[in-house]
Structure 1
Amino acid sequence: MVLKHLCSVGQDLSYHLAELRGMACFLDRYQVLGLKEETVEAALSAAGAFLVKATEVQQVIDSSMKNYKAFFRWLYVAIIRLTDERGPSSELSKVTQQEVAYVAEFLYSFDTVMLKDARSPLGVYKPRFNLERLGQYLEDEDLTMPPSTENNMWAKFLSENPRLAEHPTIINHYKNMSLVQQHKHLKTAIKLVFSQPEHWMEGLFSVACMVMFPSVYSGGPMVSHPTHLNVSKENKLMLTFLETSPPSRGLYLIEIPIDEITNVNILVKCVYLYFMPSGEGTVGKNDEVSAGTVLKVRDVAFYQPDMLSVLLEQSPENRSATFLQFPTIAAKNIFRSSRVDVMEMFPLKEAPQVEGGSLLETGAMRTIDNMMAVRLAVSGTRKVAVVLAESRRKVRLFEMEAEEEEEEEEGMDTTVSSLEGNKTGDINEDE
């Protein structure tokens, strides 16, 4: 499954880099941006090499599975015979010459690798069984047992035609690189593509003004998980970030008018929001509340210009998360407005502290059962939300506003199955 996703990503990167290479050929349009065809070609070649390495890993896995199955089949038959138990069926005990070769290859890899013992202060090299040569691809170092290319007709053809092998359209095969090293090589090549445009374009822009936000706790970063949205229709910039690194007690929601960015001082609106579990009552502005009763904020993102998506963490014993949509218009009457001079620190601690749940309708909080979610990504255009589990190995995709669309479809088509009408809730979940 991992390699399947790696191949998909590598193919998508190759597609976009190919599009970028086409843009780089139009010198009259894109040369002014510093886009160079040579660097794009190098990145495209690196993407191809990454796909080749991913395919190589898949071949190693397939070969390992064959050797592994053949070895344990042979081992099972040998144990049965040595213990004088009832012999296996003739079909099971029958071993082909190809299976013998698989078993021999499996046994050959037992003590062929000498790896440094990290626990030894003298750095003694001890033999260690390398399980089917797969782990070496997941290390940030050269392969200890690179695959043999003796029977590879394409490799032989390139070795016999070195001029052809040097052609830019031929994808290089970095035989001794691991998959991790190949990934780093690809990242470096892509960064080089955009480094020159970044250098060329940075002189075209200048900072008109700067609003500074101080650290709200000792020793921490300036802000955590910042996200912003430019609302051009209302000439304002919406900004939100967490109070501390997640899990955080709350978040700041800030509104900055864009049409005042050239003024000496700027009118900035700010409010501090925290959230409590449903059913525990509401807490008014600046009321004191126990830290243990507050839901921790894990992540925040703008779903739409007028909607803020918040991912909350319930108690550690519950091991569940809470997702809510907070309308920014609900904070209109609780913002605290302050005028700050350019390059002056904005007084975050003076922002009113409000329990956000008191501004929402009943049932606005949705529980994500059996999942401790830590990250959030939303798209109001696509009407979807994605949450990432704490293990970083599990995601859940939520289809937003699905019920409203289903009701409209039922009104237009009376033949819709009654099962579709049984769906309730604003979110449909797919794992």
Structure 2
Amino acid sequence: MKENVALKVASIFTTPRTRLQGYFRMMERETLDIYQCDPTVTLRVTSVNASGDEVIFAFADQSPHEESCVLLVQFGRCTDGVSGVRVNFSPRRVIDLQFYSSAILSVLLEDVSSSTALLLQMTVATCGLKNLKGVGPLTVSAPSANQDDVPVAKDIKMPAAALGVSGSRRVGAILADNRRKVKLFEMEADEEDDEDVSGVLMTDTSLPKDVDMPKETTSAD
């Protein structure tokens, strides 16, 4: 009887494996300085992508100026390897971002001059993270909303506050800045183009063709 009580009491203080991650935290700001971040910027983990033997943390700099950026940091699960890349979208400001899938990142941008939003779908390979051997900055130009030859950008035509996407359900949702309107999107993929773009690095407004294109289907007030 006493042994059973002792075991039950001991089990109360046993930390479940599922809670272990709560005792760890991301790198300190001083460590992130190797990615040449603005020391006045407060970064927060916006989205986490875990697949295979790697984990990617996406940090969003949501400063109220047009120099905001996205910082992707990749860790190997079984190695000590770490790489990172800073992606600038100037003159647009980063509102929110999420991983649409293990290979695709959805970024919600704000046009500072008009306060309207732009939804951008881009592959992790496009950011240059897969090809990066060390650490350092990488500037990526965001496409203009009026470019018909860029099939991965969608002009939202309203001020936006937050983004939600699901690759498994192939849907996306954008919350308006006034918190009273939601735009829903059906994310359609081009099944005819299965080209491997893992080695493509975007340095201008041209983007890979295998990224899902958002198509607006419903608007709710």
Query: Normalization by structure 2: what TM-score?
Result: 0.66
Distance apart, 1:373 and its partner CA: 0.7
Which protein has greater RCO, CA pairs closer than 8 Å, 6+ apart? Answer: 2
Distance 2:99 2:28 in 1: 20
Percent identical among aligned pairs is 25
1:379 aligns to what? Answer: 166
Out of 70, 76, 89, the position equivalent to 1:275 is 89
Distance 2:50 2:98 in 1: 13
C-alpha RMSD of matched pairs (Å): 3.6
Distance 2:105 2:82 in 1: 19
1:205 aligns to what? Answer: 20
- The secondary structure found in structure 2 opposite 1:205 is helix
Indicate conservation of the 8 Å contact 2:69/2:88, yes or no: yes
Trace 1:79-228 onto structure 2 (pairs within 5 A). 201=16, 205=20, 212-214=27-29, 216-218=37-39, 220-221=41-42, 223-228=43-48
Give CA deviations for 1:113-134 in whole Å, capped at 9, x if unaligned: xxxxxxxxxxxxxxxxxxxxxx
Trace 1:332-343 onto structure 2 (pairs within 5 A). 332=129, 335-337=132-134
Higher helix share: 1
Does residue 240 (structure 1) correspond to residue 58 (structure 2)? The answer is: yes
Indicate conservation of the 8 Å contact 1:387/1:395, yes or no: yes
Give CA deviations for 1:247-305 in whole Å, capped at 9, x if unaligned: 66111112111111xxxxx22111111225xxxxxxxxxxxxxxxxx111100100000
- The secondary structure found in structure 1 opposite 2:78 is helix
Higher strand share: 2
Rg larger for: 1
Distance apart, 1:208 and its partner CA: 10
- The secondary structure found in structure 2 opposite 1:300 is strand
2:137 aligns to what? Answer: 352
- The secondary structure found in structure 2 opposite 1:362 is coil
1:254 aligns to what? Answer: 73
Indicate conservation of the 8 Å contact 1:323/1:367, yes or no: yes
- The secondary structure found in structure 2 opposite 1:304 is coil
Give CA deviations for 1:328-382 in whole Å, capped at 9, x if unaligned: 12224652525xxxxxxxxxxxx21311448xx734221111x101100110000
Distance 1:304 1:249 in 2: 23
Out of 177, 183, 190, the position equivalent to 1:396 is 183
Query: Normalization by structure 1: what TM-score?
Result: 0.36
* Unaligned stretches of 5+ residues in structure 1: 1-30, 35-195, 261-265, 277-293, 339-350, 406-424
1:329 aligns to what? Answer: 125
Out of 150, 156, 162, the position equivalent to 1:362 is 150
1:314 aligns to what? Answer: 111
Distance 1:203 1:229 in 2: 18
* Unaligned stretches of 5+ residues in structure 2: 1-7, 31-36, 144-148, 193-212
Distance 1:245 1:297 in 2: 8
Indicate conservation of the 8 Å contact 1:269/1:335, yes or no: yes
Distance apart, 1:238 and its partner CA: 1.2
Distance 1:329 1:211 in 2: 23
